[in-house]
């Protein structure tokens, strides 16, 4: 026997007990284990239930549940504390499997006729809320009530947490809360964060105020963090500011968790200056504080500041967490900042971050959104079993890069591998169908949506109505739109665009009026749709007044798209000189000029106003247009005017600038197969029959008296070929 063991052997059981307690609190497992060995050797633990329970507790608190279980089984006559030590050990792990073990242990405990006490129920309710099992929660609630334990503040608070976490049971939660004979900081925090989770700001702040009224002070930092987390909308920022000031007044400047919640609160409300102020003010910053401000900037569209802050964080010697990296990668995605994104990628590899699922997803998303789809795919292929978020990122990436066929292919592969889509997946796939105008596939996706039990909420409802509308099925598009339980601005905009693109300008304008009537504030996209509808309908006056209304009433500055719609509107109506004046008053930017003069040039061709057409064409030459159609049209106009020198000059300019005509291309989907045709190609297997049919059609046209318009068809072989 060593000296240490001799001294242990001589110790009284009360001193042994103090030691176990100390090792348990300090989570000193090795010391605890040697003490346990000593107790087994001397047999002193079996004679004393306090000591044996404490050993179970020691292992449970050190997260060694299998050892705790063994020690528990060694106890001959278990009491309620023995059960509680084990039950609470499992429940405190906070995992799904351990919570299920708790429920099994509770069943065993009842079979062995051991009577649970309030301590037992605290563990039971904690596990039930981890599992989100409100049915078992209700049963345990009844039992606790029957046993008269609900007056215990621990039981009440943990039960409160069951109902708060279940979301739909907030009414039950409030009832439990109101009926508690005693409430403390934990009960307040639980009730407040229950409301915060459901974004019920007024209720959360209400409970906070009642607490202030009853207690006269805020007891700890947790109450502040939970109430601040409820505030995430600009209209409540003034309440947030009051609570922030109160936290400073009550001396919580030291609490980094309060500072983090404050920065997050301001950022979510869109008050970035205040978020910055709270950030500077915090006496201690951790990676969460930095993350909160970085993602705040990213989510409010100031990605440049987010990236700058990230490098500042690096220079301050603060290492980023996974969250910071995900936040900054998302900023790169939104900012189209591939170079910076690659730097962050390199940096995280250097810091030794393993490519875990969410970092990998952020990387795939960043590469895809920044247009580097092949690197995105490499990241995707890295994982053997990608989860639904990663699949969706990859599918959305293909859609964003215009490769809708690959997006559809990925979706089919995903289904074959047995991965269930979520609503974002469905929205992306529907977008691919819209772009392909693939109605049949779109209908199949609609069937999947019904089959998987998704409802027509945004974004699925919006994407589905857009798919139908863009594929020409306006009736179905409208049906989906009307059946959506709630519509956001994007839903209205896409329905309007579907109507406008399919020649239903009047209906688009009616929808616009309806939207204003419902109090939805239009954005710049709305006005693009509406101006385009006016242009197609020839409603010049209406268009003018809407164009003015956009900036005067809604404070939206006109963008290139709006100017283009206006020029198109004048052009279609034959008001060519109005269009010219409009361009000259609006086109201060090169890009604007290039687009606007090009529209006028086409309109001049349609109305055979060659003088003005030549004027617009020369403007395009001055601005260095790279569009082949501009050169072809201008030279044909000069030819029609008999100005052959100018024809030659424009041709030379086109060659000099290396502008070449892209061959025309069209495609059609027949029986799930795409047939693609490019000018001059003979690749289609049925090309002979197709040409035969075309020849018959043109003969029919001639017989009916249609004559081709040769006015602007030139001997441009040298240019076009």
Partner DNA sequence: TTAGGGTTAG
Q: Tell the residue number behind the tokens 């003015």, with chain if given.
A: 548
Dihedral sign, Cα of residue 197, residue 198, residue 202, residue 207: negative
Q: Tell the residue number behind the tokens 């992306």, with chain if given.
A: 428
Rg (CA), the chain: 35
Contact between 196 and DNA by CB under 7 A: the answer reads yes
Hey, which residues between 159 and 178 contact DNA (CB under 7 A)?
A: 161
Question: Which listed residue (29, 93, 140, 186) binds DNA by CB under 7 A?
Answer: 186
Contact between 292 and DNA by CB under 7 A: the answer reads yes
In whole angstroms, how far apart are CA 614 and each of 493, 536, 624, 651?
37, 25, 15, 14
Contact between 520 and DNA by CB under 7 A: the answer reads no
Query: How far apart are alpha carbons 48 and 56 in whole angstroms?
Result: 13
Find the shortest distance in angstroms from Cβ 427 to DNA: 20
Contacting range for DNA; rule: CB under 7 A; set: 87-95, 408-416, 433-441, 651-659: 87-95
Query: How far apart are alpha carbons 124 and 221 in whole angstroms?
Result: 26
Q: How many CB atoms lie within 10 A of CB 486?
A: 9
Question: Which listed residue (358, 524, 554, 677) binds DNA by CB under 7 A?
Answer: 358
Query: How far apart are alpha carbons 314 and 148 in whole angstroms?
Result: 56
Question: Which listed residue (99, 282, 295, 535) binds DNA by CB under 7 A?
Answer: 295
Select from 307, 221, 226, 299 the least CA-distant residue to 267: 299
Question: Which listed residue (311, 321, 401, 435) binds DNA by CB under 7 A?
Answer: 321
Question: Which listed residue (5, 34, 42, 117) binds DNA by CB under 7 A?
Answer: 117
Question: Which listed residue (190, 462, 478, 639) binds DNA by CB under 7 A?
Answer: 190
Query: How far apart are alpha carbons 81 and 86 in whole angstroms?
Result: 9
Are 637 and 617 in contact by the 8 Å Cβ rule? The answer is yes
Find the shortest distance in angstroms from Cβ 52 to DNA: 8
Q: Which is nearer to DNA, 148 or 658 (CB)?
A: 148
Are 467 and 442 in contact by the 8 Å Cβ rule? The answer is yes
Query: How far apart are alpha carbons 553 and 549 in whole angstroms?
Result: 5
DSSP-derived 3-state class of residue 513:
helix
Question: Which listed residue (45, 134, 158, 493) binds DNA by CB under 7 A?
Answer: 158
Copy the structure tokens of residue 462: 């919006």
Contact between 220 and DNA by CB under 7 A: the answer reads yes
Contact between 193 and DNA by CB under 7 A: the answer reads yes
Query: How far apart are alpha carbons 645 and 635 in whole angstroms?
Result: 10
Contact between 122 and DNA by CB under 7 A: the answer reads yes
Q: What is the DSSP letter of 31?
A: H
Hey, which residues between 221 and 240 contact DNA (CB under 7 A)?
A: 221-223, 225-226, 229
Q: How many CB atoms lie within 10 A of CB 352?
A: 6
Find the shortest distance in angstroms from Cβ 311 to DNA: 18
Q: Say if residue 155 is exposed, middle or buried (CB neighbours under 10 Å; 0-12, 13-18, 19+).
A: buried
Query: How far apart are alpha carbons 562 and 218 in whole angstroms?
Result: 54
Contact between 439 and DNA by CB under 7 A: the answer reads no
Q: Which is nearer to DNA, 127 or 441 (CB)?
A: 127
Contact between 677 and DNA by CB under 7 A: the answer reads no
Question: Which listed residue (170, 261, 436, 623) binds DNA by CB under 7 A?
Answer: 261
Contact between 300 and DNA by CB under 7 A: the answer reads no
Find the shortest distance in angstroms from Cβ 224 to DNA: 9
Query: How many residues belong to the site for DNA (CB under 7 A)?
Result: 70
Q: How many CB atoms lie within 10 A of CB 96?
A: 12
Hey, which residues between 1 and 20 contact DNA (CB under 7 A)?
A: 14, 17-18
The HSE-up count of residue 369 (CA atoms within 13 Å, CB side) is: 19
Bridge partners of 669, per DSSP, are 674
Contact between 53 and DNA by CB under 7 A: the answer reads yes
Contact between 204 and DNA by CB under 7 A: the answer reads no
Contact between 91 and DNA by CB under 7 A: the answer reads yes
Are 493 and 526 in contact by the 8 Å Cβ rule? The answer is yes
Contact between 141 and DNA by CB under 7 A: the answer reads no
Question: Which listed residue (19, 46, 80, 712) binds DNA by CB under 7 A?
Answer: 80
Contacting range for DNA; rule: CB under 7 A; set: 187-195, 207-215, 274-282, 658-666: 187-195
Q: Which is nearer to DNA, 230 or 484 (CB)?
A: 230
| Contacting positions for DNA (CB under 7 A) | 14, 17-18, 21, 24, 49-50, 53-54, 57, 61, 79-81, 84-85, 88, 91-92, 117-123, 125-126, 129, 149, 152-158, 161, 184-187, 189-190, 193, 196, 220-223, 225-226, 229, 256-257, 260-261, 264, 287-288, 291-292, 295, 321-323, 326-327, 330, 358
């Amino acid at each position: 026997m060593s000296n240490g063991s001799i001294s242990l052997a001589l110790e009284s059981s009360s001193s042994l007990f103090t030691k176990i307690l100390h090792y348990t609190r300090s989570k000193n497992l090795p010391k605890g284990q040697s003490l346990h060995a000593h107790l087994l050797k001397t047999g002193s633990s079996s004679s004393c239930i306090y000591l044996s329970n404490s050993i179970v507790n020691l292992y449970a608190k050190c997260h060694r549940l299998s050892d705790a279980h063994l020690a528990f089984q060694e106890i001959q006559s278990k009491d309620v504390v023995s059960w509680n030590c084990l039950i609470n050990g499992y429940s405190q792990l906070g995992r799904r499997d351990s919570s299920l073990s708790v429920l099994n242990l509770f069943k065993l405990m009842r079979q062995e006729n051991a009577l649970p006490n309030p301590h037992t129920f605290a563990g039971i309710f904690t596990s039930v809320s981890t599992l989100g099992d409100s049915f078992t929660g209700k049963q345990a609630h009844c039992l606790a009530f029957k046993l008269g334990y609900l007056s215990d503040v621990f039981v009440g608070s943990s039960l409160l947490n069951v109902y708060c976490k279940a979301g739909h049971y907030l009414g039950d939660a409030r009832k439990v809360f109101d009926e508690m004979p005693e409430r403390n900081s934990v009960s307040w925090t639980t009730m407040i964060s229950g409301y915060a989770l459901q974004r019920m700001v007024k209720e959360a702040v209400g409970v906070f105020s009642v607490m202030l009224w009853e207690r006269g002070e805020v007891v700890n930092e947790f109450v502040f963090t939970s109430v601040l987390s409820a505030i995430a909308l600009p209209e409540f920022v003034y309440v947030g500011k009051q609570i922030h000031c109160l936290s400073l007044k009550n001396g919580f400047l030291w609490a980094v968790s309060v500072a983090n919640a404050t920065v997050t609160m301001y950022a979510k409300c869109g008050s970035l200056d205040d978020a910055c102020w709270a950030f500077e003010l915090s006496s201690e910053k951790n990676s969460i504080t930095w993350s909160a401000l970085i993602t705040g900037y990213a989510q409010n569209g100031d990605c440049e500041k987010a990236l700058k802050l990230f490098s500042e964080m690096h220079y301050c010697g603060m290492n980023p967490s996974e969250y910071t990296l995900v936040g900054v990668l998302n900023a790169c995605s939104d900012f189209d900042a591939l170079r910076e994104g690659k730097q962050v990628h390199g940096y995280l590899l250097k810091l030794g971050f393993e490519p875990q699922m969410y970092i990998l997803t952020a990387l795939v998303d960043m590469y895809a959104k920044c247009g580097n789809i092949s690197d995105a795919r490499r990241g995707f292929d890295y994982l053997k079993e990608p989860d639904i978020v990663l699949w969706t990122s990859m599918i959305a990436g293909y859609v964003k890069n215009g490769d809708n066929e690959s997006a559809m292919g990925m979706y089919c592969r995903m289904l074959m591998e047995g991965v269930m889509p979520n609503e974002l997946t469905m929205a992306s796939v529907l977008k691919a169908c819209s772009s392909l105008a693939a109605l049949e596939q779109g209908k199949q996706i609609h069937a999947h949506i019904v089959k998987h039990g998704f409802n027509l909420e945004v974004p699925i409802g919006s994407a589905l109505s857009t798919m139908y509308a863009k594929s020409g099925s306006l009736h179905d598009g409208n049906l989906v739109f009307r059946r959506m339980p709630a519509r956001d601005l994007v839903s209205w905009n896409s329905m309007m665009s579907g109507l406008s693109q399919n020649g239903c300008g009047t209906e688009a304008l009616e929808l616009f009026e309806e939207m204003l009537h419902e109090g939805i504030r239009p954005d710049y996209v709305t006005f693009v749709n509406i101006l385009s509808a006016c242009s197609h309908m020839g409603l010049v006056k209406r268009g003018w007044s809407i164009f003015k209304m956009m900036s005067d009433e809604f404070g939206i500055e006109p963008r290139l798209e709006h100017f283009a719609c206006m020029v198109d509107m004048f052009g279609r109506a034959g008001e060519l000189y109005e269009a010219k004046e409009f361009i000259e008053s609006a086109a201060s930017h090169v890009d604007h000029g290039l687009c606007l003069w090009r529209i006028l040039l086409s309109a001049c061709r349609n109305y055979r106003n060659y003088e003005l057409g030549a004027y617009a064409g020369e403007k395009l030459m001055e601005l260095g247009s790279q569009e082949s159609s501009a050169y072809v049209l201008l030279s044909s106009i000069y030819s029609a005017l008999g100005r052959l020198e100018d024809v030659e000059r424009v041709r030379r300019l086109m060659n000099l600038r290396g502008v070449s005509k892209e061959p025309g291309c069209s495609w059609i989907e027949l029986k799930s197969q795409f047939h693609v045709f490019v000018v001059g190609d003979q690749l289609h297997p049925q090309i002979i029959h197709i040409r035969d049919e075309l020849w018959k059609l043109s003969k029919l046209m001639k017989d009916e008296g249609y004559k081709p318009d040769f006015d602007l068809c030139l001997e441009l072989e040298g240019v076009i070929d």
